[in-house]
Amino acid sequence: MDAIKLLLFVPFIGFLGLLPYVNKIEPYIFGMPFLLFWVAFWMVMASIILMIVYKFDPDNKGSDSE
The pLDDT value recorded for residue 62 is 66
Closest CA to 6 of 53, 56, 64, 60: 53
Contacts of residue 35, defined as CB under 8 A and 6 or more positions apart, other chains included, come to 22, 23, 24, 25
Q: What is the pLDDT of residues 3-56, one digit of tens each?
A: 888 888 999 998 888 888 888 888 898 899 988 999 999 999 999 999 999 888
The pLDDT value recorded for residue 60 is 77
Q: How many CA atoms lie within 13 A of 32 on its CB side?
A: 9
The pLDDT value recorded for residue 6 is 87
- CA 3-43-33 angle, 5° bins: 135
The pLDDT value recorded for residue 65 is 56
pTM: 0.77
